[in-house]
């Protein structure tokens, strides 16, 4: 099958944050990624933030006659129409958050709409910067047939000095923004590569 993407195509990125807080540092990473594409620091990408808060907790009793609740159907359509994914994954108890796992599971219900697409993960937090959540998410990706970029990795200790975020959770650290830019460029290149195989 001929790819729908070419190097000149605009890549549609679905951005999903595992934290539901508006001032979340991880959500701030997504806002910064969107800024990088809108101000042309990263070209050829359009990032759409997808709010996962309306999703009900996974319960297959909600699947009636092969149909999902409307919020789930809308979410699944957004995932299906995207070329690749950017996950901002905070770490809770050495793992991914419940809202993020819930979203992953809803979109994996038959037919799995994650399959055979590229993805990248960024995270901010204390200590290891959310890194353990990334390993758990990568494990899920194996079953989902998601293809995560391996390098560059992006873990950010949000509590080191100087401050990495402002009071509203916006990324202000210039070095971190450059690292985020590298992640987006790698995601773009890998997405084009997968679609031109």
The DSSP secondary structure of 149-181, one letter per residue, reads --SS--EEETTSSSPSB-TTS-B--HHHHHHHH
Q: Is the pLDDT of residue 1 over 50?
A: no
SS3 of residue 39 by DSSP: coil
Q: pLDDT higher for 135 or 8?
A: 135
Give the Cα separation of 121 and 110 in Å (integer).
24
Q: Which residue has tokens 């590229």?
A: 118
Least confident of 14-18, 42-46, 159-163: 159-163
Domain ranges of the chain: 11-195
**Which alpha helices (DSSP H) does 40-173 contain, by range?**
70-80, 98-108, 131-144
Q: Is the pLDDT of residue 175 over 70?
A: yes
Say how many C-beta atoms besides its own lie within 10 A of residue 105's C-beta: 14
**Token pair of 176, please?**
């971190």
Q: How confident is the model at residue 197 (pLDDT cuts 50, 70, 90)?
A: low
Q: Is the pLDDT of residue 79 over 80?
A: yes
The angle, 0 to 180 degrees and rounded to 10, between the axes of the packed helices 25-38 and 174-195 is: 70
Digit-coded pLDDT (tens) for 121-138: 999 988 877 889 999 999
- The DSSP code for 113 is S
Half-sphere exposure of 107 (CA within 13 A, CB side): 29
Q: Return all residues near 44 (Cβ < 8 A) that are at least 6 apart.
A: 7, 8, 9, 10, 11, 188
Give the Cα separation of 88 and 176 in Å (integer).
14
Q: In percent, how much of the chain has pLDDT > 90?
A: 86
Model pLDDT, residue 45: 97
SS3 of residue 126 by DSSP: coil
Q: Is the pLDDT of residue 71 over 90?
A: yes
Model pLDDT, residue 8: 65
Question: pTM for this one?
Answer: 0.94
Average pLDDT over residues 55-73: 96
**Token pair of 129, please?**
């910067």
- 16-55 in b/e burial notation, b at 16+ Cβ within 10 A? bbbbeeeebbbbbbbbbbbbbbeeeebebbebebbebeeb
Domain 11-195 grouped into CATH 3.90.550.10: no
> H or E segment at 38?
helix 25-38
Q: In percent, how much of the chain has pLDDT > 70?
A: 96
> H or E segment at 194?
helix 174-195
Q: Is the pLDDT of residue 7 over 80?
A: no
Q: Is the pLDDT of residue 23 over 80?
A: yes
Q: How confident is the model at residue 98 (pLDDT cuts 50, 70, 90)?
A: very high
Q: How confident is the model at residue 2 (pLDDT cuts 50, 70, 90)?
A: very low
Average pLDDT over residues 93-108: 96
Q: Is the pLDDT of residue 173 over 50?
A: yes
């Amino acid at each position: 099958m001929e790819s729908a993407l070419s190097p000149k195509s605009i890549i549609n990125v679905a951005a999903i944050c595992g934290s539901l807080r508006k001032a979340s540092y991880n959500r701030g990473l997504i806002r910064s990624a969107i800024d990088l594409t809108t101000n042309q620091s990263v070209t050829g990408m359009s990032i759409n933030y997808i709010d996962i808060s309306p999703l009900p907790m996974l319960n297959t009793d909600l699947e009636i006659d092969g149909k999902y609740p409307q919020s789930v159907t809308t979410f699944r359509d957004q995932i299906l129409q995207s070329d690749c994914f950017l996950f901002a994954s905070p770490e809770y108890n050495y793992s991914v958050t419940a809202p993020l796992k819930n979203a992953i599971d809803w979109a994996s219900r038959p037919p799995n709409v994650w399959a055979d697409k590229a993805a990248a993960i960024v995270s901010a937090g204390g200590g290891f910067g959310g890194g353990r959540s990334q390993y758990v998410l990568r494990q899920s990706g194996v079953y989902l047939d998601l293809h995560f970029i391996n390098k560059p990795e992006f873990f950010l200790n949000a509590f080191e000095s100087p401050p990495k975020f402002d009071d509203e959770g916006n990324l202000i650290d210039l070095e971190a923004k450059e690292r985020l830019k590298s992640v987006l460029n790698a995601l773009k290149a890998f997405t084009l590569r997968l679609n031109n195989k």
